[in-house]
Chain A
Amino acid sequence: AQSVAQPEDQVNVAEGNPLTVKCTYSVSGNPYLFWYVQYPNRGLQFLLKYITGDNLVKGSYGFEAEFNKSQTSFHLKKPSALVSDSALYFCAVSRPTRDDKIIFGKGTRLHILP
């Protein structure tokens, strides 16, 4: 069965500094990988996905993520953090089969300090 690990419950970054939110996955076969962001009392907003192709994926709001097959990681990054980036971030994985349910990590709360 597929699973996702987000090792950090919370990440604190000063505004203007680069940020990284970590994610590792476990899945048989080729993974589909996703990042979502959630603001308080809101649903999830899609940030980016990796399906195939270039390992570096660019998404919304200046975020990007790098797929590393050997390390089974898909870390989320941004070169310069904004206070408005403060939110809850979820990494997720699914498989390219008919059983295409998405499994979420437990989430990482990102605090951008002004």
Chain B
Amino acid sequence: GAVVSQHPSRVICKSGTSVKIECRSLDFQATTMFWYRQFPKQSLMLMATSNEGSKATYEQGVEKDKFLINHASLTLSTLTVTSAHPEDSSFYICSARAGLYEQYFGPGTRLTVT
């Protein structure tokens, strides 16, 4: 099946710094990738839709200047959390669309901002 990787799996950063998370589709090309965040014991919240070669589409309430998304190739999308604060600590999950219907999810990145 299709495999999606994320790097890093876990990151700790200081408040005010920026962190970049990578999402890669390993064995297929993905014109569309999605970024979610998940708080403890809660569901996944869609943050943005990332389209290769164009600007990301952000969901209502998500700050696009805070969460920078770049989808520079058909196998890579990156999420940069800028000027991170403790409230940005969360589990970030990406997914890549394969075919018409299915999305395959990465293993997630645990971000802790101290």
* B interface residue count range (under 10 / 10 to 19 / 20 to 34 / 35 or more): 20 to 34
- Quick one: CB contact mask for B83-103 with A, threshold 8 Å, 1 for yes? 000000001010101000111
The interface residues of chain B lying within 8 Å CB-to-CB of A42 are 107-108
Measured in the bound complex, the distance between the Cα atoms of B38 and A37 in whole Å is 14
- Quick one: CB contact mask for A60-84 with B, threshold 8 Å, 1 for yes? 0000000000000000000000000
Total number of A-B contacts with CB less than 8 angstroms? Answer: 47
Most buried by A among B91, B103, B104, B108: B103
The interface residues of chain B lying within 8 Å CB-to-CB of A94 are 101
A54 at the interface (CB under 8 A from B): no
Q: Is the CB of B106 within 8 A of A43?
A: yes
Q: Is the CB of B34 within 8 A of A90?
A: no
Q: Which of B32, B43, B95 contacts A107 (CB 8 A)?
A: B43
The interface residues of chain B lying within 8 Å CB-to-CB of A36 are 105
Q: Is the CB of B44 within 8 A of A49?
A: no
Binding site for B on A (CB under 8 A): 32, 36, 41-46, 49, 51, 90, 94, 100-107
3 smallest beta-carbon distances between A and B, as pairs: A44-B105, A43-B107, A106-B43
